[in-house]
Structure 1
């Protein structure tokens, strides 16, 4: 039996729960058909999240199916962003996919890239560093020194996959105009995996401390707010706390979804909820980092449609 899972027409962090709810209804043994034919736009978060769903579906049963976007501009963008290069290994893809070169263009700072081991993390950072540096300073108005912190944030968010997921994942980095409230340029880092998730990773060292409160939400709080890790060595597990400090300095946003919970450090330009629990279950973890264009002397912030 095949189960249809619709990919939202505007697929980003805000519509992800709708996608996760459809995915959560699937049962073992069903073949999943991810239908993106009506997709009009997908953020980096949507693209890497769709790959994570494909990997998880393949583990549960038959190789999943994927219907590519029908809109030629949309499917071309997905191809240039590196999505189909990775999707070919996970899905049986139906629809017309253009044979275009994966872009390293002004918008796509880093196309969808697999992260399986520490060497991949180093390669990702070295690939993007020079171009990111130019965009952060010229387009976003960040101090040139901020690019070191950007490399750290990118590295730590990818390293999270290597150390905690128990499987591989993907990262994508893009720059675009965010129109949710005020027009601003932003750089967005999205990282997703279909691994064990934060609760399972931290359970051996943290569950007893939290007692009955222990669950996906408590695990995310422990990791992002308290900086705990499954590693007991001094100096480990500061990655997410380091990301939080860096983004706070530049009025950025971090949001992490894992299992049935989502936590966010919400800057003043955004209206997200700091902690959500009881969400549709989705495997692994999905991380979103947003660095906005800096506005001198006032509240600034991005916006997106």
Structure 2
């Protein structure tokens, strides 16, 4: 009982001593200063980064695309935030006399051991650096990775997020990105094949379609130049196939193909030329001549 009471008085004296409260006050003040300094440094750093990219945007010669600048700016802001947070935590731990050097040395050894088991994570991070700094694609680009395609929503050091045409969001590890098709990097080409019946005059049909194609750049802003007819692509059972090729602005080749199909179909229909439908030949038992039946 005396041992318990003696320890209680010792603890009570320690809690009520001025030395403890002075240390608590100094420690709390130092932590508050560290947090405020980190907050101010983070805001100043973000303003500096934004000012740098704003100055680059006002330069007469554009060194990179706006989407890539936005991606790099977001990445630098993230690195700045994590770096300042790490330094602030180390300074706070040092306030409590935590052996920082010993912790860092131990973390280095542990990191080396963990690195062998986290090779996929390291591969993802390295892949993210190459994607960003080589400008393989940027946020807002429409790309295809394997069997997945969509708009780039976000690019991180570990994963890339795509949003498909139907609204699905795909999260792809950067280390798994091998071959990328970037539809936003250059102009696209709309390829359209028109079925024309053999009964029609091919020269007449080509002249009609060329007149239609000449008017498309004035109707649609997506076309770069006038679409052209490549010629007869194939000879089918009941029709031949004309191929049309049109250069469009990036990511608009599919809309351009739809516009070509619409305009060509309408003009041919006005000229009395219909798109051929599949046909089959029927041989009735009571007739000598074959009879054509539409299907």
TM-score greater than 0.5 by the shorter chain: no
TM-score normalized with structure 1 length: 0.25
Larger radius of gyration: 2
Whichever structure has more helix as a proportion of its residues is 2
Identify the structure with bigger relative contact order (alpha carbons < 8 Å, sequence gap 6+). 1
